[in-house]
Amino acid sequence: MPKMNFIDADGNNKEVDAPLGLSVLEIAHKNKIDLEGACEGSLACSTCHVIVEENFFDQLEEASEDEEDMLDLAFGLTHTSRLGCQIIITEEMDGLTVKLPAATRNMMVDV
């Protein structure tokens, strides 16, 4: 089974199983990774925002216009940002590494 890595905002790496056909968001939830996903994958939020490692980013299918629109609202957007619910695991993605952005949650605390 493919594996993938989540790097949290503090830089800690967690390797987890990445079953084919599951989204990064679903895998995060299975493994109690702190990725929100408020709309459960219906492209109506940006809380599942992850930053994809450069070499995997190029292998992903391009983001749809709806995804781009949501990403524009994401906090801490980077040029390899994607929505976790839109990244589906394939064989080629074994070893995928994504970073969790420095939490939207903190933003609320700061206000």
Minimum distance from residue 66 beta carbon to ligand FES (Å): 9
Binding residues vs ligand FES (CB under 6 A):
25, 37-41, 43-45, 47-48, 70, 83, 85
Nearer to ligand FES, 39 or 103 (CB): 39
Minimum distance from residue 84 beta carbon to ligand FES (Å): 6
Minimum distance from residue 42 beta carbon to ligand FES (Å): 6
Q: 103: Cβ–Cβ under 8 A, 6 or more apart, which residues?
A: 9, 34
What's the order of all strands across the beta sheet hosting 81-83? Answer: 13-17, 3-7, 96-99, 49-52, 81-83
Nearer to ligand FES, 47 or 97 (CB): 47
CA distance 53 to 45: 22
Minimum distance from residue 55 beta carbon to ligand FES (Å): 23
CA distance 40 to 69: 17
Nearer to ligand FES, 4 or 48 (CB): 48
CA distance 56 to 81: 11
Task: Give me the residue whose beta carbon is nearest to ligand FES.
Answer: 85
